Amino acid sequence: MLSWEYPPLVVGGIAAHVEGLARAMQRAGHEVVVCSLYHPDEPDDSVVEGVRVLRADPALPWLPDDDLVARMASANHQLVQLATRLGDWRPDVVHAHDWLVAWAGDTLKTLLDVPLVATIHATERGRHGGHLPPGLPGTINSVEWWLAYQARTIIACSQFMVREVVHNFELPVEKVHLVPNGVDTERWRSVAASGSSSREPLVVAWGRIQYEKGFQVLGRAIGELRHRIPGIRCVIAGRGSYLPELQTHIDMEGVSDIVQLAGFVPDDELHELLQRASCVVIPSLYEPFGIVALEGMAAGAPTIVARTGGLAEIVDGTDAGMLFEPGNHHELADRIAEVIADPAAAERLRTNAAQLLRKTYTWDAIATETIAVYRSALV
C-alpha cells in the first residue's frame, strides 16, 4: 500500500483508513507492506502489529512551499526507491491511496508487473462544490484523472463517491467498486464504556480545519444555543489552513468564550473529551465518507451529522445518529438541543450506533471486501 500519511503522521482520515485496513488484512493472513513518508519519531523500516512499514528518506531538492504538486511528485521518487528494500519479496497488488501517491503507484505497477488498485478518498472538484477554480485545484484534478485512468480498478468509500468518480473521470461503472471506511471499535470501546450517564452540555467536533468541513456552521449553531442551554460549551479540535478564518467567524459570532478551537488534540485528550460530551457533531458541507462519524459512534457519543455525501449514507434510516441539512445552523441547533434535552433518545442513538458498527463497519469486514476487489483486479 502507498499512502502519504500513516500514523503517527496524521493529516486527515487517510492515515486511519490505511492503518485499519492494513492491520485487518494482516490478521486475515495476508502479507502487507505500507510505503509512506518520513516521520522523525519512527524508524525507516519497522514492523507494527505484523504490518511492515517503510518510510521514505526526507532528503529532497528544495522546492517552494506553495508548490504542493511539485513537492509531492518529488517525494514520490523516494516512495518508489523503497521498493529496493523489498528484496525478493513481490506484492500481488499495488494499492495507491489518493492522488498524492499517484506517480509512485503508476511506476511500481510497471516495475513489479502487478495491477494497480487506487482508492480515491475525495476529489478536488468535489471539495470545490463541483467547480475547479484556476490554479492548484485544476492541477490536482489532472493528477486524479490520470490516476483513475492508470489504475486497473478504483475503490470509492460511498455510493456518493462512486457516482462522483464515475462522472468526474468518465469511467465505466464496472471499474469502480464501493468499499466503505471502517473503525477500530476496540480502540474506542474504553471511551464508550467509561462515558458518564450524566454528561455535561459539551459539543465536540474534530477533523481537518477546512472550509468544506463546515465548522463555521457549528459555531453559528452554538451562538443560537447559548441562551437556550445554560452552560453549553463546544470544542473543535484539529489543524488546517482555514483555522485563522474560522477563529474570525467564532469571534464575529460572539461565541469565543464558549467555543474553543483546540488545535491538535492527542488521542488520550480527545477520548477524555468524548467521555464528557453530550454529543459529537460532523457539520461537513462536503464529505465523501466521514470516518469521524464512525469514531464518534464508537466512542458512545450521540452523533449528529450533515445530510451530505457518505455521512448521509451512514446514518439515514438507521436511527444511529441525527441528520440536519448541510449549512443550516438553525436545524443543527435544534438537533443538538434535542439530544441534550432527551437522555432516553441519546441512549437509543448510542445503542443503535453500536449495533450498526458491529454489523457493517469493522475493519475485518472492510478488509474482506477489499481483498475481493484485489482478486477481481488480478483476473
The domain that contains 194 carries what CATH number? 3.40.50.2000
Query: Which pLDDT belongs to residue 288?
Result: 85
Residue 198 pLDDT level (bands cut at 50, 70, 90): low
Residue 3 forms part of a structural domain:
no
Q: Verify that 199 and 328 share a domain, yes or no.
A: yes
Q: Verify that 142 and 156 share a domain, yes or no.
A: yes
How many structural domains does the chain have? 2
Query: Which pLDDT belongs to residue 193?
Result: 56
Residue 297 forms part of a structural domain:
yes
Q: Verify that 228 and 176 share a domain, yes or no.
A: no
Q: Verify that 203 and 342 share a domain, yes or no.
A: yes
Residue 117 forms part of a structural domain:
yes
Residue 365 pLDDT level (bands cut at 50, 70, 90): very high
Q: What is the mean pLDDT of residues 96-109?
A: 97
Which of 6-20, 231-245, 344-358 has the least mean pLDDT?
6-20
Residue 204 in this model has a pLDDT that exceeds 70: yes
Q: Verify that 155 and 21 share a domain, yes or no.
A: yes
Q: Verify that 253 and 331 share a domain, yes or no.
A: yes
Q: pTM (2 decimals)?
A: 0.84
Query: Which pLDDT belongs to residue 191?
Result: 61
Q: Verify that 176 and 193 share a domain, yes or no.
A: no
Query: Which pLDDT belongs to residue 127?
Result: 86
Q: What is the mean pLDDT of residues 324-350?
A: 96
pLDDT digits (tens, 9 = 90+) for 216-242: 999 999 999 999 999 999 999 999 999
Residue 178 in this model has a pLDDT that exceeds 80: yes
Residue 5 forms part of a structural domain:
no
What's the domain range around 173? 14-182+362-378
Query: Which pLDDT belongs to residue 147?
Result: 98
- Kindly state the DSSP code that residue 183 receives in the 8-state scheme: B
- Among 125, 134, 81, 72, residue whose Cα is nearest residue 99: 72
Residue 4 forms part of a structural domain:
no
Q: Verify that 353 and 371 share a domain, yes or no.
A: no
* Residue with more model confidence, 107 or 60: 107
Q: What is the mean pLDDT of residues 96-115?
A: 97
Q: Verify that 203 and 299 share a domain, yes or no.
A: yes
For 372-379, the CB contacts below 8 A with 24+ separation are 373/117, 373/153, 373/155, 373/177, 373/179, 374/92, 374/93, 374/95, 374/115, 374/117, 376/153, 376/177, 377/93, 377/115, 377/117, 377/152, 377/153, 378/92, 378/93, 378/115
Q: What does the mean pLDDT of the chain come to?
A: 93
Instruction: Please give the Cα distance from 146 to 144 (Å, whole number).
Output: 5
Residue 11 pLDDT level (bands cut at 50, 70, 90): confident
Query: Which pLDDT belongs to residue 57?
Result: 83
All cell numbers assigned to 97: 491511496
Q: What is the mean pLDDT of residues 299-319?
A: 93
Residue 63 in this model has a pLDDT that exceeds 80: yes
Residue 197 in this model has a pLDDT that exceeds 60: no
How many percent of the chain have pLDDT more than 90? 80
Q: Verify that 164 and 146 share a domain, yes or no.
A: yes
Residue 192 pLDDT level (bands cut at 50, 70, 90): low
Q: Verify that 336 and 371 share a domain, yes or no.
A: no
Which of 115-119, 183-187, 328-332, 360-364 has the least mean pLDDT?
183-187
Whether the CB-CB separation of 332 and 321 falls below 8 Å is answered with: no
- Among 91, 34, 92, 29, residue whose Cα is nearest residue 378: 92
How many percent of the chain have pLDDT more than 70? 97
Residue 101 forms part of a structural domain:
yes
Residue 194 in this model has a pLDDT that exceeds 70: no
Residue 28 in this model has a pLDDT that exceeds 70: yes
Q: Verify that 325 and 231 share a domain, yes or no.
A: yes
Whether the CB-CB separation of 190 and 221 falls below 8 Å is answered with: no
Query: Which pLDDT belongs to residue 119?
Result: 97
Query: Which pLDDT belongs to residue 50?
Result: 95
Residue 9 forms part of a structural domain:
no
Query: Which pLDDT belongs to residue 128?
Result: 86
pLDDT digits (tens, 9 = 90+) for 76-95: 999 999 999 999 999 999 99
Residue 1 forms part of a structural domain:
no
Query: Which pLDDT belongs to residue 195?
Result: 52
Taking the alpha carbons of 235, 299, 37, 286 in that order, is the dihedral positive or negative? negative
Instruction: Please give the Cα distance from 219 to 193 (Å, whole number).
Output: 29
